[in-house]
Structure 1
Amino acid sequence: MFRSLCNKLVLHTHTTCISFSNRNLTTTYLIRSISTSDTINHNTFTVSYLINSCGLSLQDAIFASKKVQFENPKNPDSVLTFLRNHGFDNTQISKFINNHPPLLLAKVDKTLKPKFDFFKTMGFSNPDLVKVLSSDPVILLYSLEKRIIPSCVLLKSIVQTDAKLISLIKRSAKILRCNQQKTLAPNIALLQNHGVPDSHIAMLLVTNPRSILQTFSCLNQKVEELKKMEIDPKESKFVRGISTLASMSKSTFQEKCDVYRSWGWSDDEIHVAFKKEPKCLEISPRKIMRNMEFFVNKMGVVSKSIAKHPLILMFSLEKRIFPRCSVIQLLISKGMVKKDYNFNTLLTISDEDFLKKFVTNFEDKFPEVVNAYQGKLNVL
């Protein structure tokens, strides 16, 4: 019986199957690693279809067959054809079905097509829509009228434009399937009731939509923590603080605080830095350490003074900090810039302004300033 099942799995094909190269070449080998009892208890036709038409491995197909079973390929074929016609490639379809096998039983005209049509009327391009749905295909199983459309209406009332709504959904498609009445609406109302402007809520939604998807009690706790720090809800740093706190566990937050403490910062100084720029605690411990080492050990900056200008810790060492500091060190050695130049100003001005003021302005007299900016001159 086991051999008969193996043969059926390998030989079963039909005219509408997708061509997944070498799938059947590995089937026999994979069967050896799966017990007879595991295999024979599953629907042979479904498993075979999942392998030959959807590109799943034998192991994945057997697991998926626990979630979906069928004896007729008509509906699954129509689903696969619909997905292919909308730009999904074999790899995406395989992942799509592997993650959510019940999609093979979805009715194309009743369940799938209306949702695709709705997203396209919003302004989604076909490639973007494929990307969004590949990242979270279960959206297609949620009600368009009861879940997706109401969520979009609420979100657009905050972000205002279709372009921003699309950007938001591309960042986190999950937001479309969250419970609007239990999560989305109460959380947005919570922020509004604390005086957070809609424009800042929109910014939070677009940059970190997951921070809005936490439970009401978790979000409320973060709001209260930020208010205790005397961060004004009307300032944009308030939602940046929510985003930062929502992006990590308490243990990770403490780990980053410990890195700052290792450089002599007190808890008050960490508080000052967070209050000035909450994102300074969102960067990795490794980046904090590397940038602090550079500023303190290479540039001679007093460690505690950085707490007053935490934004400079967020810049890339290779792309911004090192090139700019190299230029300044060269100009200091030439007597063109004072040694006590404000590093905060140096690092926060735009690339255009920096190049104009410190590179273009001096390159005729000191051609090597260009090499310093490009990292070709060792001056540090």
Structure 2
Amino acid sequence: MRIFNSLQLQVLQKIPTKAMKPNWYVFSSLTKAPTQTPNTNTSLFNYLIQTLNFSQTEAQSISTRVSNVKSPENPHSVLHYFRSIGFSETDIRLSVRSAPGILFSDVDKSLKPKMEFFQGLGLVGSDLGKFISKNSLVLNINLEKHLIPRIELIKKILVDDINNETLIKVISRCNWLVSARPESKLLSNIAFLESCGIVGSHLSLLLKRQPRIFIMEDSKVRNHVSRVLDMGFSVDSSLFVHALHTVSGLNVETFLRKLELFRSFGYTKDEYMEMFRRQPMLPTASEKKLKLALEFFLNKIGLEKAALIRAPWCLMLSLEERVIPRYRVMQIVRSKRLLKKKEPSLTSVLNISEKKFLERYVARFRDDTEELLVAYKGHLLDSSSLSSPVEES
């Protein structure tokens, strides 16, 4: 309950009961922050503080972006509607912070049709609240003329999208897809990518992994494609789209920095580029991850450099969850000579599924299964045991 000082009580007592208005009017004259500027909308400023618990600094920033506010009735209706469809107070605050104009939207004519459209896509309750809180600008877009056509255009690209799950992820990652004019950047880039042979599932994959490329300037998209071609990829290759994803998402400086990291471990530029052509996603891994992987494979267990050139994808695997546990198991298998045939290469062991790995190298050796399982879980061998070299076939 708000506690009023004596002066405020005198003011309130002079206001006739029938003339009493919602907090919007009362507090607009009683709760003024010393930091307000001439552009601050005082009524909205106080409403944001009293109703949505914004700080004075936040309220000032938001209220200066909205003009000609006269009545609190519309914001009350908007908040009531948001709450009725499952929005949390946090969702509402985040939405208002990004797009304060929605407080003055017509609920029945503007907000409700858009919300029902998103609900039809599968966004309901708290999921809808979280989506709008991060993408509230979509509520400023005309539903019939722009929002629906853009969503339909994106849906056509995505293949095998059950229940619109991928669509929701894509527009959540890049809301500019639905705010850019479909007849300009979006349509133009789709046409160009399709002319490069990126169609069907490949176009869908690119949209899922790098949606921003679809709204880039035409010149940038063409430059990325040109760079990928110069790196030795063919538009006919299934790896082309993966390379385009990497190149469009990394700046040149970052790409070259990864090259220098590989050089520090003895690889040449040509060898690094060969690894990139075999595994186009390699440069997207963090420098920390790549460095730890290179140190483990090359320095810790003595794997030959050529083995990683042939199988650079190994550097993308989790050391803790996949590489080290399987390496430990294979150490025991080798030391006990459990395999009658030639021991498989480490890279081939890392390449199979967990189910097949357990079947081939753990469960089949009944007398040693318990020890192998303990090793696989990481409780048997300490880090000092990870030093004997491995031969790569």
TM-score range, shorter chain: 0.7 to 0.9
Q: How big is the shift at 1:211?
A: 2.9
- The 1-side partners of 2:73 and 2:232 are apart by 62
Question: Residues 119-178 of structure 1: CA distance to partner in whole angstroms, max 9, x if unpaired?
Answer: 222333333322221111101101112221111121122114452323432443332112
| Structure 2 partner of 1:335 | 337
Unpaired segments ≥5 residues, structure 2: 13-19, 387-393
- Please tell me whether the aligned partners of residues 169 and 175 of structure 1 are also in contact (alpha carbons under 8 angstroms): yes
Instruction: Summarize the Cα distance change of 1:75–1:288 in structure 2 as closer, same or farther, 3 Å threshold.
Output: same
Matched, 1:279 2:269: no
- Please tell me whether the aligned partners of residues 272 and 307 of structure 1 are also in contact (alpha carbons under 8 angstroms): yes
Structure 2 counterparts to residues 308-323 of structure 1, below 5 A:
308-323=310-325
Moved more, 127-136 or 84-93: 127-136
| Structure 2 partner of 1:42 | 40
Matched position secondary structure for 2:310? coil
Q: How big is the shift at 1:288?
A: 0.3
- Please tell me whether the aligned partners of residues 244 and 281 of structure 1 are also in contact (alpha carbons under 8 angstroms): yes
| Structure 1 partner of 2:90 | 91
- The 2-side partners of 1:14 and 1:362 are apart by 77
Q: How big is the shift at 1:7?
A: 7.3
Structure 2 counterparts to residues 223-372 of structure 1, below 5 A:
223-337=225-339, 341-365=344-368, 367-372=370-375
Q: How big is the shift at 1:54?
A: 2.1
Matched, 1:218 2:216: no
AA aligned to 1:98 is R
Q: How big is the shift at 1:355?
A: 1.0
Structure with max Cα Rg: 2
Structure 2 counterparts to residues 109-258 of structure 1, below 5 A:
109-160=108-159, 161=161, 163=164, 164-258=166-260
| Structure 2 partner of 1:56 | 54
Matched position secondary structure for 1:268? helix
Question: Residues 167-206 of structure 1: CA distance to partner in whole angstroms, max 9, x if unpaired?
Answer: 4324433321122122111111111101112211111112
Matched position secondary structure for 1:364? helix
- The 2-side partners of 1:83 and 1:237 are apart by 45
Moved more, 176-185 or 370-379: 176-185
TM-score between both structures, scaled by the size of structure 2: 0.84
- The 2-side partners of 1:373 and 1:171 are apart by 37
- Please tell me whether the aligned partners of residues 329 and 375 of structure 2 are also in contact (alpha carbons under 8 angstroms): yes
Q: How big is the shift at 1:336?
A: 2.8
Instruction: Summarize the Cα distance change of 1:207–1:41 in structure 2 as closer, same or farther, 3 Å threshold.
Output: closer
AA aligned to 2:365 is F
Identity of aligned residues (%): 33
Instruction: Summarize the Cα distance change of 1:229–1:42 in structure 2 as closer, same or farther, 3 Å threshold.
Output: closer
Instruction: Summarize the Cα distance change of 1:107–1:313 in structure 2 as closer, same or farther, 3 Å threshold.
Output: same
Question: Residues 223-279 of structure 1: CA distance to partner in whole angstroms, max 9, x if unpaired?
Answer: 111122232324332121122122222211211121111111111111111111111
- The 2-side partners of 1:345 and 1:140 are apart by 51
- The 1-side partners of 2:199 and 2:148 are apart by 24
TM-score between both structures, scaled by the size of structure 1: 0.87
- The 1-side partners of 2:204 and 2:151 are apart by 13
Q: How big is the shift at 1:48?
A: 0.4
Q: How big is the shift at 1:116?
A: 1.0
The number of residue pairs the alignment matches comes to: 360
- Please tell me whether the aligned partners of residues 128 and 170 of structure 1 are also in contact (alpha carbons under 8 angstroms): no
- The 2-side partners of 1:232 and 1:191 are apart by 14
AA aligned to 1:211 is I
Unpaired segments ≥5 residues, structure 1: 17-23
| Structure 1 partner of 2:16 | none
- Please tell me whether the aligned partners of residues 39 and 64 of structure 2 are also in contact (alpha carbons under 8 angstroms): no
- Please tell me whether the aligned partners of residues 363 and 370 of structure 1 are also in contact (alpha carbons under 8 angstroms): no
Instruction: Summarize the Cα distance change of 1:248–1:230 in structure 2 as closer, same or farther, 3 Å threshold.
Output: closer
Moved more, 88-97 or 173-182: 173-182
- The 2-side partners of 1:93 and 1:13 are apart by 24
Moved more, 44-53 or 296-305: 296-305
- The 2-side partners of 1:99 and 1:350 are apart by 45
| Structure 1 partner of 2:389 | none
Instruction: Summarize the Cα distance change of 1:75–1:255 in structure 2 as closer, same or farther, 3 Å threshold.
Output: same
AA aligned to 2:155 is K
- The 2-side partners of 1:306 and 1:114 are apart by 55
Q: How big is the shift at 1:283?
A: 0.2
Moved more, 203-212 or 164-173: 164-173
| Structure 2 partner of 1:19 | none
Instruction: Summarize the Cα distance change of 1:340–1:7 in structure 2 as closer, same or farther, 3 Å threshold.
Output: farther
RMSD: 2.8
- Please tell me whether the aligned partners of residues 265 and 304 of structure 1 are also in contact (alpha carbons under 8 angstroms): no
